Amino acid sequence: MMFDQAGNLWVTTDISSDKLNEGVYEPFGNNGFFMIPTEGPNRGKAMQFASAPVEAELTGPWLAPDGMTLFLSVQHPGEETEDPNNPHSRWPYGDIPRPSVVAISRV
């Protein structure tokens, strides 16, 4: 979790891969990153900003002090893979799944 300079709450989800898209977790799809305004007409309404790769979670959000770049860690994409020759995820390069840090910038 983190708060941005405007006071909005940002939250990552950490639903176990074996529970994703089932039961009460079905509406979430993959794990994601959500912004929840703390003021205004959408106060308290969670809005999805980013979606994690298959069988992964987004974690460690950090917003640069100028508010222009967001950093997120991607943990264990394709973690339910049993056959390394046929991974469930090939994120981020199209071959084997790798944890990574991504930077999302606005212009």
pLDDT in tens, the chain (107 residues): 999 999 999 999 989 888 888 888 888 789 999 999 999 999 999 999 999 999 999 999 999 999 999 999 999 999 999 999 999 999 999 999 999 999 999 88
In sequence order, the 6+-apart residues with CB closer than 8 A to the CB of 13 are 28, 31, 32, 33, 34, 57, 58
Q: Which amino acid is at 63?
A: L
Give how many domains the chain has, as a whole number. 1
Boundaries of domain holding 44:
2-105
Distance from C-alpha of 85 to C-alpha of 107, rounded to nearest angstrom:
39
Maximum Cα–Cα distance across the chain: 49
Say if pTM beats, i.e. exceeds, 0.75: yes
